[in-house]
Structure 1
Amino acid sequence: MGKGLRVTVVDCGPLKLDKGIIMTGASGIVSAPSSVWIIEHPKKGLILFDTGINYNVADPEAAEKHWGPGMREAFGCVMTREDAIDRQLIKLGYKLDDVKYVVLSHMHLDHAGGMCHFPNATFIVQKRELSYAWWPDEWTKIVYCLNDYKDTRGYNFIELDGDIDLFHDGTIKLINTPGHSPGHQAMIVRLENRGLVCLGADTAHLKEAYRNSAPMPYDWSTEAHISSYMKLRTIENAGIPIYLSHDEKDFNEFPKNGEWAD
Structure 2
Amino acid sequence: MTEWQVHAVKYADRNARTRADSFIFDDNHDAPHAMDYFMWVLRCGDQTILVDTGYDGAEAEARDRPIRMDPVTALAPLGVKPDDITTLIVTHLHYDHAGGLDLFPNATLHMQSAEMAYATGPCMCHDTLRMPFTADHICTAIKRLYAGKVVFYDGDGQVADGVTVHCIGGHSRGLQAVRVRTSSGWLVLASDAAHFWENLHARKPFPIVVDMQNMLDGFTTLEQLASHPNLIIPGHDPLVRGYFPQGIADHITRLDRGPTRDIKT
Whether the TM-score (by the shorter chain) exceeds 0.5 is yes
3-state secondary structure, aligned to 2:152: strand
RMSD: 2.1
Partners of 1:148 and 1:253 in 2: CA distance: 33
In the alignment, which of 89, 92, 110 is matched to residue 96 of structure 2? Answer: 110
3-state secondary structure, aligned to 1:248: coil
Q: Tell me the alpha carbon deviations over residues 39-98 of structure 1, each in whole angstroms, 9 at most, x when there is no partner.
A: 12336x22111111233234xxxx23xxxxxx42xxxx3413xx2211112243321112
In the alignment, which of 156, 163, 166 is matched to residue 172 of structure 1? Answer: 163
* Counterpart in the other structure of 1:246: 236
Partners of 1:12 and 1:134 in 2: CA distance: 27
Q: Give the C-alpha shift of residue 242 in structure 1.
A: 0.4
In the alignment, which of 224, 243, 246 is matched to residue 234 of structure 1? Answer: 224
- Aligned pairs (5 A) from 1:177-256: 177-191=168-182, 193-236=183-226, 238-239=227-228, 241-255=231-245, 256=247
Query: Given the two structures, how large is their TM-score scaled by the length of structure 1?
Result: 0.83
* Counterpart in the other structure of 2:263: none
5+ unaligned residues in a row in structure 1: which ranges? 65-70
Q: Tell me the alpha carbon deviations over residues 183-203 of structure 1, each in whole angstroms, 9 at most, x when there is no partner.
A: 111111111x32221111111
In the alignment, which of 80, 84, 108 is matched to residue 70 of structure 2? Answer: 84
Q: Tell me the alpha carbon deviations over residues 138-186 of structure 1, each in whole angstroms, 9 at most, x when there is no partner.
A: 131111111223234331110110111222x2x1111111111111111
Q: Give the C-alpha shift of residue 126 in structure 1.
A: 0.2
Q: Tell me the alpha carbon deviations over residues 204-256 of structure 1, each in whole angstroms, 9 at most, x when there is no partner.
A: 111112122122212010011111112123235x4252011111112433442
Partners of 2:81 and 2:214 in 1: CA distance: 38
* Counterpart in the other structure of 1:32: 35
Q: Tell me the alpha carbon deviations over residues 7-64 of structure 1, each in whole angstroms, 9 at most, x when there is no partner.
A: 2111122122222222223422222111111112336x22111111233234xxxx23
Matched, 1:142 2:134: no
CA gap of 1:239–1:260, structure 2 versus 1, over 3 A, is closer
Partners of 1:252 and 1:118 in 2: CA distance: 30
Aligned length: 239
Where does structure 1 differ by over 4 angstroms across 4 or more consecutive aligned residues? none
The residue type paired with residue 79 of structure 1 is: I
Partners of 2:81 and 2:55 in 1: CA distance: 19
Native 8 Å contact 1:84 1:114 kept in 2: no
Partners of 2:207 and 2:110 in 1: CA distance: 26
5+ unaligned residues in a row in structure 2: which ranges? 249-253, 261-265
